[in-house]
Amino acid sequence: MIPEDDPLIEHKKHGPPTCPFLTKMSGDNQKEDIEDNGASVLTNDKAGKMDELSDLEEENVRLKERTTCKVCRESPAIVLLLPCSHLAACVQCGPSLTVCPVCERKVVESVKTFLG
């Protein structure tokens, strides 16, 4: 997205300075300089917040990978494999497993779990 297309920047340029939305979104530490041509220049505070958002998005991807079926890689892993205790399979893939896809131990039993 080019800076001229950012709705928040446009709202800051054209909206009232007392707008509660702008106050909430801007915060005290978040500053943005508008150059003569109207382009936005990010300060370190805003760039740091964008880095933090990027880190959170990466962590979200890692957590989704950890909770996804290790066999089909599509459905949520909600089947607990015993005796290794890996939460590694979905309800479609779990019943057919004889070996854990994580540690390769023999599966003695599987238990459907309910998370949340």
Tens of pLDDT along 27-59? 544 444 555 555 555 556 666 777 888 888 999
Residue 72 pLDDT greater than 80, yes or no? yes
Closest CA to 110 of 87, 72, 79, 66: 79
Q: Identify which has the larger pLDDT, 11 or 37.
A: 11
Residues 8 and 61 in one domain: yes
pLDDT band at 17 (very low <50, low <70, confident <90, very high): confident
CA 66 from centroid of its chain's CA atoms:
13
Residues 82 and 39 in one domain: no
Residues 74 and 87 in one domain: yes
Residue 116 pLDDT greater than 80, yes or no? no
Residues 77 and 33 in one domain: no
What whole-number distance in Å separates Cα of residue 44 and Cα of residue 50? 10
Residues 14 and 62 in one domain: yes
Domain count, the chain: 2
Residues 95 and 72 in one domain: yes
Residues 61 and 83 in one domain: no
What whole-number distance in Å separates Cα of residue 86 and Cα of residue 108? 12
Domain extent, residue 7, equals 3-66
Q: Identify which has the larger pLDDT, 71 or 33.
A: 71
What is the β-pairing status of strands 40-42 and 32-34?
Answer: antiparallel
Residues 62 and 83 in one domain: no
- Residue 29: the pLDDT is 42
8 A C-beta contact, residue 76 and residue 88: no
Residues 62 and 16 in one domain: yes
Q: What is the rounded average pLDDT of the residues 13-17?
A: 74
Residue 83 pLDDT greater than 90, yes or no? yes
Greatest mean pLDDT among 1-5, 16-20, 89-93 lies in: 89-93
Residues 53 and 26 in one domain: yes
Q: What CATH number does the domain containing 111 carry?
A: 3.30.40.10
Residues 9 and 56 in one domain: yes
- Residue 115: the pLDDT is 79
